[in-house]
Amino acid sequence: MPKGCNALSMIEDNDIDAPGPESSHSAVSGDAASDVDSDVSPTSGHDSDTDPGNASLLAANIALALAVCAGLELLLTIALGLAVDVNRLSQVSRIGYAFLTQLEKSPLGLFLVLAAAAAAIAAKWASPESTAGRRAGITAGLVMGFAVVLGIGTALALVARFDVADLVASQKVDSVTRRVLAIFVVRNLGAAAIAIVVASTAVRTRPRA
């Protein structure tokens, strides 16, 4: 066979054996994909430092702690009123007088508002059926119950103050005392109302499974 034909045959064989541009591109793409897959861990999830679940659990724990503190103070105030031995005051007036003296010293309403706000934040961030979501729901229920007790205690405190004025001549309810009582009622009833509204928001925004 002539040398030209042999050279032509060799060129044709080389063209057949050489990979085309598409196959080369596929090989490069496959290598790049394998490199990307190797960099991505199959168990990678949220960063533990920025995971909203951690923040929601912290908010739920803070809310529950504040609600428990407020509940304990309410129970101790009621117990104090029952323990006071004043024959001329009824048992209801004793409890009210205990609320009248104790609520002036403690920001109980603020505790309930902060607990409700923290529960609402936790409920917003928590995933369904998570520990944070359950604690946020429990805290919201406690806050609403304690807020109702605070409202009742405020009303009893107001009644007790007028009962004391009827019994003690030096404790008359004058215009200045009425203004002080109005501030007392607005502060505590207002805080109780805000806590109930915010806690109910936490219940409504709690995720469902």
The predicted-structure confidence for 162-184, as pLDDT tens digits, reads as follows 888 877 767 788 888 899 999 99
The predicted-structure confidence for 87-98, as pLDDT tens digits, reads as follows 778 888 899 989
Q: What is the rounded distance in angstroms from the CA atom of residue 62 to the CA atom of residue 58?
A: 6
CB atoms within 10 A of CB 194: 17
pLDDT means over runs of 10, the chain (209 residues):
46 48 46 45 42 78 95 94 80 90 88 94 81 89 96 93 80 86 93 95 68
Contacts of residue 199, Cβ cutoff 8 Å, sequence gap at least 6: 116, 119, 120, 139, 140, 141, 143, 144, 147
Nearest to 77 by CA among 189, 153, 148, 145: 153
